[in-house]
Amino acid sequence: MSKRQWLCLFGVWMMVFLFLGVPSFWHKMIALVSGLIIIIIAYNLPHEKRSNPSASGSSFVENNNNSSIA
């Protein structure tokens, strides 16, 4: 899974977690750990390398072989 997918997954986890009936101490601990994980993923997100080689440079090629324009 990519970092963006993990970030979305943890965001959904946080939304669902708010409605679970967890004791106050555990609620704070789990929220703290989940928040730290989200921060770490978000901090490292811009540093993710693209595996698509065509995304690094311009690869646009115009192909217009129609010489009989009316």
The 10s digit of each residue's pLDDT in 53-65 is: 555 566 667 777 7
Q: Is residue 41 a contact partner of residue 7, using CB atoms and an 8 Å limit? A: yes
What is the structure's pLDDT at 50?
60
DSSP codes, 1-64: --HHHHHHHHHHHHHHHTTS---HHHHHHHHHHHHHHHHHHHHHGGGPPP--GGGSS-------
Task: Compute the mean pLDDT over every residue in the chain, rounded to the nearest whole number.
Answer: 77
Residue 35 pLDDT > 70, yes or no?
Answer: yes
Q: Which residues contact 7 (CB under 8 A, 6 or more apart)?
A: 38, 41, 42, 45
Q: What is the DSSP letter of 67?
A: -
